[in-house]
Amino acid sequence: MNTDTKNVFAPNCSLNMDSHDFVKLGHGSGGTMSAHLLENVFLKTLANPLLNQLEDATVLEIVSDKIAVTIDSYVVSPIFFPGGNIGSLAIHGTINDLAMRGAKPLYIAGSFILEEGLPIDDLKTIIISMQQACDQAKIKFIAGDTKVVNKGAADKIFITTCGIGLIENTFIPSVSKARLGDKVIVSGDIGLHGVAVMCARESFDLETTIESDSAPLNELVDAVLAIHPEIHCLRDITRGGLATVLNEIVSASNVAVEIDESKIPINPEVAAVCAILGLDPLYVACEGRLIAIVPQEQAELVLDIMRKHALGTNAQIIGEVNEATKQRVILKSKIGSKRFLDKLANEQLPRIC
Question: Nearer Cβ to Mg ion, position 148 or 285?
Answer: 285
Distance between CA atoms of residues 38 and 12, nearest Å: 9
| Min CB(314)–Mg ion separation in Å | 20
What is the longest distance spanned by two Cα atoms in the chain?
69
Question: Nearer Cβ to Mg ion, position 115 or 236?
Answer: 236
| Min CB(100)–Mg ion separation in Å | 6
Question: Nearer Cβ to Mg ion, position 97 or 260?
Answer: 97
237-264 burial, b if ≥16 CB within 10 A, otherwise e? bbbbbbbbbbbbbbbbbebbbbbbbeeb
Question: Nearer Cβ to Mg ion, position 95 or 127?
Answer: 95
Mapped onto helix, strand or coil, the DSSP state of residue 260 is: strand
| Min CB(118)–Mg ion separation in Å | 27
Question: Nearer Cβ to Mg ion, position 33 or 294?
Answer: 294
Strand partners, 167: 66, 103
Where does this chain bind Mg ion (CB under 5 A)? Answer: 97, 236
| Min CB(245)–Mg ion separation in Å | 8
| Min CB(96)–Mg ion separation in Å | 6
Distance between CA atoms of residues 12 and 36, nearest Å: 7
Distance between CA atoms of residues 70 and 238, nearest Å: 15
Question: Nearer Cβ to Mg ion, position 156 or 193?
Answer: 193
Residues 6+ apart with CB under 8 A from 283: 240, 241, 242, 243, 244, 344, 348
| Min CB(163)–Mg ion separation in Å | 11
Q: Which amino acid is at 257?
A: V
Measured in whole angstroms, the distance separating CA 150 from the mean position of its chain's CA atoms is 28
Nearest 5°: the CA angle 297, 303, 308 is: 140
| Min CB(286)–Mg ion separation in Å | 11
Question: Nearer Cβ to Mg ion, position 110 or 240?
Answer: 240
